[in-house]
C-alpha cells in the first residue's frame, strides 16, 4: 500500500493509488506502479526522503503559481480559472486571431495566450483554450455502413481495398440507397515490415495516413508515365523505361487481386505495398509535377511543416536502419540532433518521396469525402482515431518529449480478464500536453478533420484517464493516470466545430461515473451495440428499444465481435473453441449462447419485428422477388430493432449484408487467426467483390429495411432527436471485446 505521503504526491500528479473493477470493490495499486508512473512524469519517488522533497516542491509550486499551464473556457463567458484570480488582477489576452484584449470576456473560439498580473506582483502566463459550449447534433437521423477498408476489394484494386473503392462505395450507397455515412477503420500510417503489423490500431503515425491505401491509377502523374520527359531521339527510350518499370507492379497487382477474390488467399498487405511502392517510385522518378501540381505540393509541405518533415525523415531512416528506432545509431534516435539533420540531407530524395506520398494520400482522402458529400451523404466518411501509436513508430520517435518513457497503455484486471491487458502503446504525458497547450493533440485532430465528416475516437475514456503499465511488468501491476479531460474535450470540440464534423466516442464496457454524462454535455456521441444493451443493474434482460439513448451510433456488431449470422447460429462459439479460447466447457458456452439468441428472438417476435419465417407463416422476399432465408429474416429483424430506438445514427456492418461468418478481428489471438487480413465474404466464405456487393439482392434487402425507417430522402418514421435513457453499454465482456474502462482494445502483442 502506498504511504500517505506517496498517495498525496501521486494525487497531485494525477496518478491513482487504487482502482475499482466493480462498484463494490476497490483494489490498491502497487507502490512499484505508482513510483514508476511518477518517474515517467519526471518525479522522483524512489525513497521516503525523495517523496517528501517532491511533495513539498509540488505543494509549493501549486501554492505560488497564479495560473496553470492551460486554462479552458466554454462559450463567451470568463473562464473559471481566470474568474477566480485575486481581485485587481490585470489580464492581457493575445488571441489566436492576432488581437490584444484586456479582458477574457466574449473571446472568439481558439487557442489564445493570457498573461495575468496580480496585485501582489505575481505574474502568470497560460494557454487559453476557448471552445463552443458543445457540438451540434448530426443534421438528421441517418444510417450508414461500417466496413474495414482493406477488406473491401473491387476488381480494380491491388489486392486490398483502397481509397477509390471507398469512394465507389460511398457514391453508390449515398446515391442509390440514401446512406448518410460510411465508417471505416483507422487509415493511420503503419510501421513497415515485413511483416507489417496488420492491426490498424497500432500505427506508426496517427497524424499521417498510410499510402498503401492509394489507388495508383488515380495519381495524375500515372497517366503520363509512358510519355517521354525530353525531346529528340532519346525521348522515346525514357518513355519505354517508364512503361517497363510499371509492368512488374501491374502484373503483381493483378495476381494479388485474383489470389484474394478468386483463390481464397488472405490479404497480403506487405505484398500490396511492395507493388504500389515500386509503381509510385516509377511515377515520382519519371514524371515531374506540372507547375500547378508543384505549387499545391509546396503548399502542403509548408502547411504540414515540421511534423511532415519528421514523419518523412523517419520513413527514410527506417528504410536504411529498420523500423525499430531504438536500435538506430545513437545520434539518429534524437529527431533534433545534428546527426539526424545530416542524415536528412543525405536522404533528401527519399524524404521528399515519403512527403509526396503523404500529399497524394491526403488528396485522395479529401476527394473521397467530397464524393460522399456530393452523393448526398450528410456526414460522409467517418474516420477512426486509434488510442495510441506503436512504440517504434514515427510519432513515438518525433514526439518523445510528450510521451511517457517506459510506460504502455492497457486495461486493468476485471471479471472478464483476470490478467489485465497491455496494448503496447506509449501514453502521452498529461503535464507535457498542458505545458504546450495540447499542441500535439490539436495538430492530430486538425489533420484528421481535413477529410472526415465525423470522427470515431477509439477508447474515448482515454480523454479522462489511461491505465499505465510499467515496462517489464504485467498489466496487473499498472495504475490509472488522469488527464485534464476538460482541456482534452475543449480541444476536441474546438477542432470538430471548426471542421463542422461530428464526434463519436467508443464508450463500450464499464466506464467511470460521470464520463458519459460529460461527453453528452459536450455533444460527443456514444456507441451502443445491441447485444450489450441490457439492464445490467436490474434483471439483465434486453433494454426496451425506447429506453436507449438518442445521442449514439447504434449497431448490431463491430469488427471485434462475431458477424450477426455467426452469433445467431452459435458458430462463433465453435470458432473460439477450435482456437482454444474458451474458459468453460464447450457445452456450457453453447448453451449460454443459444439462450442469449433465443431471448433476443423471442423479444423480436413479441415486438412484431421478425417478419417471415417462424412467425406469421409468410416468407419475406428480396427486391428481386426471391425468397429470403430464415437467417436473413433474423438479421433484418435485429436491424428493425435498432430502428425502434431513438438513436440518431444507425450503423450496418457491411459483411452482415452478405452473411459473412468471420470476424475481422478475434480478440485473444495473434497468429492463430487471420486478424485484419480477411476480405468481405458470403455465408460460404467466398470473397465478395465490391461489384458483387452492389449487385447483391441480400444486401439490398437489408439496406432497404434500414433506409425506409430513417429520415433520408424517400424514407419515413424517423425518430430524430427523441431523448433516450439507459442503454449505457453495460459491463459485458462477451468474446473478450469489452471490459473495464475500455478493455475492448485487444490488438497488442500476443493479442489482436
Query: Each residue of 8-31: pLDDT tens digit?
Result: 999 999 999 999 887 788 999 999
C-alpha cell at 343: 542524415
- Say if residue 617's pLDDT is above 60: no
User: What integer pLDDT is reported at residue 511 of this predicted model?
Assistant: 87
- Say if residue 480's pLDDT is above 90: yes
> What's the mean pLDDT in 395-407?
97
User: Quick check: 676 and 203 in contact, CB under 8 A?
Assistant: no
Nearest C-alpha neighbor of 397 from the set 317, 339, 343, 277: 317
Is the N-terminal amide bond of 194 cis, ω within 30° of 0?
Answer: yes
For 585-593, which contacts have Cβ atoms below 8 Å and span 24 or more sequence positions? 593/567
Mean predicted lDDT score pLDDT of the chain? 90
C-alpha cell at 403: 510521451
Q: pLDDT by residue (tens digit) across 66-77? A: 999 999 999 999
Residue 17 has phi, psi (to 5 degrees) of: -110, 5
> What's the mean pLDDT in 357-376?
98
- Say if residue 620's pLDDT is above 70: no
> What's the mean pLDDT in 704-722?
52
669 band by pLDDT with thresholds 50, 70 and 90: confident
User: What integer pLDDT is reported at residue 413 of this predicted model?
Assistant: 84
> What's the mean pLDDT in 128-149?
94
C-alpha cell at 92: 492581457
User: Quick check: 467 and 345 in contact, CB under 8 A?
Assistant: no
The CA distance from 359 to 273, in Å, is 17
Asked which of 150-154, 230-234, 480-484 is least confident by mean pLDDT, the reply is 230-234
C-alpha cell at 492: 476536441
> What's the mean pLDDT in 535-542?
89
Question: Could you tell me how many residues make up the chain?
Answer: 752
User: What integer pLDDT is reported at residue 724 of this predicted model?
Assistant: 33
- Say if residue 251's pLDDT is above 70: yes
Q: pLDDT by residue (tens digit) across 496-529? A: 999 999 999 999 987 889 999 999 999 999 999 9
User: What integer pLDDT is reported at residue 627 of this predicted model?
Assistant: 61
**How many CB atoms sit inside 10 A of residue 11's CB?**
13
Dihedral of CA atoms 419, 423, 424, 428 in degrees, nearest 10, equals -120
Phi-psi domain of 194 (left: phi exceeds 0; alpha: psi -120 through 50; beta: other) = beta
- Say if residue 717's pLDDT is above 50: no
Q: What share of the chain is helix, strand, coil (3-state, %, to 5)?
A: 45, 15, 40
User: What integer pLDDT is reported at residue 671 of this predicted model?
Assistant: 87
Counting beta carbons within 10 angstroms of the beta carbon of residue 227, is it exposed (0 to 12), middle (13 to 18) or buried (19 or more)?
middle
User: What integer pLDDT is reported at residue 137 of this predicted model?
Assistant: 85
User: What integer pLDDT is reported at residue 734 of this predicted model?
Assistant: 32
Q: Is the pTM here over 0.85, yes or no?
A: yes
CA angle 189, 193, 194 (to 5 degrees): 150
Counting beta carbons within 10 angstroms of the beta carbon of residue 285, is it exposed (0 to 12), middle (13 to 18) or buried (19 or more)?
middle
Who has greater pLDDT, 200 or 718?
A: 200
> What's the mean pLDDT in 274-282?
97
User: What integer pLDDT is reported at residue 670 of this predicted model?
Assistant: 85
Who has greater pLDDT, 231 or 113?
A: 113
User: Quick check: 272 and 150 in contact, CB under 8 A?
Assistant: no
- Say if residue 239's pLDDT is above 90: no
How far from the centroid of its chain's Cα atoms is residue 58's Cα? 35
User: Quick check: 492 and 445 in contact, CB under 8 A?
Assistant: yes
Nearest C-alpha neighbor of 676 from the set 131, 61, 193, 16: 193
User: What integer pLDDT is reported at residue 623 of this predicted model?
Assistant: 56
User: What integer pLDDT is reported at residue 231 of this predicted model?
Assistant: 41
User: Quick check: 531 and 561 in contact, CB under 8 A?
Assistant: yes
Angle between helices 48-64 and 4-12 (to 10 degrees): 40
Nearest C-alpha neighbor of 182 from the set 458, 446, 457, 369: 369
Asked which of 248-257, 456-465, 608-617 is least confident by mean pLDDT, the reply is 608-617
Per cent of the chain over pLDDT 90 is 82
611 secondary structure, DSSP code? -
C-alpha cell at 262: 478468386
User: What integer pLDDT is reported at residue 731 of this predicted model?
Assistant: 33
User: What integer pLDDT is reported at residue 613 of this predicted model?
Assistant: 53
Per cent of the chain over pLDDT 70 is 90
| H/E element, 502 | strand 502-505
User: What integer pLDDT is reported at residue 379 of this predicted model?
Assistant: 97
User: What integer pLDDT is reported at residue 226 of this predicted model?
Assistant: 65
| H/E element, 555 | strand 552-555
User: What integer pLDDT is reported at residue 228 of this predicted model?
Assistant: 43
Q: pLDDT by residue (tens digit) across 313-338? A: 999 999 999 999 999 999 999 999 99
Pairing state between β 70-74 and 110-117: unpaired
> What's the mean pLDDT in 732-747?
35
Nearest C-alpha neighbor of 43 from the set 13, 11, 73, 84: 13
C-alpha cell at 719: 425518430
Counting beta carbons within 10 angstroms of the beta carbon of residue 127, is it exposed (0 to 12), middle (13 to 18) or buried (19 or more)?
buried
User: What integer pLDDT is reported at residue 53 of this predicted model?
Assistant: 98
Q: How far is CA 277 from CA 210, 223, 641, in A?
A: 12, 17, 46
416 band by pLDDT with thresholds 50, 70 and 90: low
The CA distance from 702 to 698, in Å, is 6
User: Quick check: 682 and 688 in contact, CB under 8 A?
Assistant: yes
Find cell 423480436 and name the residue: 604
User: What integer pLDDT is reported at residue 621 of this predicted model?
Assistant: 57
Nearest C-alpha neighbor of 315 from the set 402, 202, 398: 398
The CA distance from 111 to 312, in Å, is 28
- Say if residue 230's pLDDT is above 50: no
Find cell 512504440 and name the residue: 391
> What's the mean pLDDT in 192-205?
93
Amino acid at each position: 500500500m502506498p504511504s500517505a505521503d506517496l498517495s498525496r504526491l501521486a494525487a497531485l500528479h494525477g496518478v491513482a493509488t487504487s482502482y475499482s473493477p466493480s462498484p463494490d470493490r476497490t483494489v490498491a495499486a502497487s507502490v512499484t506502479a505508482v513510483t514508476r508512473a511518477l518517474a515517467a512524469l519526471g518525479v522522483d519517488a524512489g525513497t521516503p526522503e525523495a517523496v517528501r522533497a517532491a511533495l513539498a516542491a509540488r505543494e509549493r509550486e501549486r501554492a505560488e503559481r497564479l495560473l496553470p499551464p492551460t486554462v479552458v473556457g466554454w462559450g463567451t463567458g470568463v473562464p473559471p480559472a481566470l474568474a477566480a484570480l485575486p481581485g485587481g488582477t490585470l489580464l492581457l489576452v493575445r488571441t489566436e486571431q492576432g488581437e490584444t484584449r484586456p479582458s477574457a470576456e466574449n473571446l472568439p473560439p481558439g487557442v489564445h495566450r493570457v498573461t495575468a498580473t496580480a496585485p501582489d506582483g505575481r505574474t502568470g502566463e497560460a494557454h487559453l483554450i476557448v471552445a463552443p459550449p458543445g457540438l451540434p447534433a448530426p443534421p438528421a437521423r441517418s444510417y450508414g455502413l461500417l466496413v474495414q477498408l482493406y477488406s473491401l476489394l473491387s476488381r480494380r484494386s491491388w489486392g486490398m481495398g483502397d481509397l477509390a473503392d471507398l469512394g465507389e462505395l460511398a457514391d453508390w450507397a449515398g446515391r442509390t440507397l440514401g446512406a448518410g455515412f460510411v465508417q471505416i477503420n483507422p487509415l493511420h500510417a503503419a510501421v513497415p515490415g515485413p511483416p507489417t503489423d496488420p492491426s490498424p490500431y497500432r500505427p506508426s503515425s496517427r497524424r499521417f495516413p498510410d499510402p498503401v491505401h492509394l489507388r495508383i491509377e488515380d495519381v495524375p502523374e500515372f497517366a503520363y508515365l509512358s510519355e517521354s520527359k525530353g525531346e529528340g531521339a532519346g525521348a522515346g527510350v525514357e518513355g519505354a523505361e517508364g512503361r517497363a518499370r510499371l509492368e512488374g507492379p501491374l502484373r503483381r497487382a493483378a495476381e494479388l487481386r485474383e489470389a484474394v477474390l478468386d483463390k481464397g488467399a488472405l490479404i497480403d498487405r506487405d505484398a500490396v505495398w511492395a507493388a504500389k511502392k515500386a509503381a509510385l517510385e516509377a511515377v515520382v522518378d519519371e514524371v515531374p509535377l506540372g507547375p500547378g501540381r508543384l505549387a499545391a505540393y509546396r503548399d502542403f509541405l509548408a502547411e504540414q511543416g515540421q511534423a511532415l518533415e519528421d514523419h518523412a525523415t523517419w520513413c527514410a531512416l527506417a528504410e536504411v536502419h529498420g523500423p525499430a528506432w531504438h536500435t538506430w545509431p545513437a545520434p539518429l534516435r534524437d529527431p533534433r540532433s545534428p546527426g539526424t539533420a545530416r542524415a536528412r540531407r543525405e536522404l533528401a530524395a527519399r524524404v521528399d518521396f515519403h512527403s509526396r506520398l503523404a500529399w497524394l494520400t491526403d488528396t485522395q482522402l479529401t476527394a473521397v469525402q467530397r464524393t460522399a458529400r456530393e452523393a448526398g451523404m450528410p456526414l460522409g466518411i467517418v474516420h477512426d482515431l486509434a488510442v495510441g501509436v506503436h512504440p517504434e513508430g514515427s510519432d513515438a520517435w518525433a514526439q518523445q518529449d510528450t510521451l511517457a518513457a517506459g510506460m504502455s497503455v492497457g486495461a486493468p484486471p476485471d471479471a472478464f480478464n483476470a490478467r489485465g491487458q497491455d496494448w503496447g502503446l506509449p501514453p502521452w504525458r498529461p503535464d507535457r500536453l498542458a505545458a504546450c497547450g495540447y499542441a500535439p493533440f490539436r495538430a492530430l485532430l486538425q489533420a484528421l478533420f481535413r477529410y472526415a465528416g465525423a470522427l470515431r475516437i477509439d477508447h474515448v475514456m482515454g480523454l479522462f484517464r489511461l491505465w499505465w503499465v510499467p515496462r517489464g511488468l504485467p498489466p496487473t501491476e499498472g495504475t490509472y493516470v488522469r488527464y485534464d479531460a476538460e482541456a482534452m474535450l475543449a480541444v476536441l470540440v474546438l477542432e470538430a466545430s471548426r471542421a463542422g464534423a461530428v464526434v463519436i466516442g467508443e464508450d463500450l464496457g464499464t466506464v467511470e461515473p460521470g464520463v458519459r454524462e460529460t461527453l453528452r454535455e459536450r455533444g460527443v456521441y456514444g456507441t451502443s451495440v445491441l447485444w450489450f444493451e441490457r439492464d445490467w443493474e436490474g434483471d439483465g434482460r434486453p433494454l426496451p428499444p425506447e429506453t436507449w439513448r438518442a445521442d449514439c451510433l447504434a449497431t448490431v456488431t463491430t469488427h471485434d465481435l462475431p458477424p450477426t449470422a455467426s452469433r445467431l447460429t452459435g458458430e462463433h462459439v465453435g470458432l473460439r473453441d477450435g482456437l482454444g479460447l474458451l474458459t468453460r466447457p464447450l457445452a456450457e458456452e453453447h448453451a449460454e449462447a443459444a439462450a442469449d439468441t433465443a431471448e433476443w428472438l423471442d423479444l423480436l417476435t413479441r415486438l412484431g419485428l421478425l417478419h417471415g419465417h417462424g412467425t406469421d407463416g409468410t416468407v419475406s422476399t428480396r427486391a428481386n422477388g426471391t425468397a429470403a432465408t430464415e437467417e436473413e429474416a433474423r438479421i433484418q429483424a435485429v436491424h428493425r430493432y435498432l430502428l425502434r430506438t431513438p438513436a440518431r445514427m444507425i450503423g450496418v456492418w457491411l459483411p452482415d449484408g452478405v452473411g459473412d461468418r468471420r470476424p475481422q478481428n478475434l480478440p485473444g489471438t495473434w497468429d492463430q487467426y487471420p486478424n485484419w487480413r480477411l476480405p468481405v465474404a458470403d455465408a460460404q466464405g467466398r470473397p465478395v467483390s465490391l461489384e458483387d456487393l452492389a449487385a447483391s439482392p441480400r444486401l439490398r434487402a437489408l439496406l432497404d429495411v434500414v433506409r425506409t425507417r430513417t429520415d433520408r430522402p424517400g424514407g419515413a418514421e424517423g425518430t430524430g432527436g427523441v431523448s433516450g435513457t439507459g442503454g449505457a453499454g453495460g459491463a459485458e465482456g462477451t468474446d473478450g471485446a469489452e471490459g473495464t474502462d475500455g478493455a475492448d482494445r485487444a490488438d497488442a502483442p500476443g493479442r489482436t
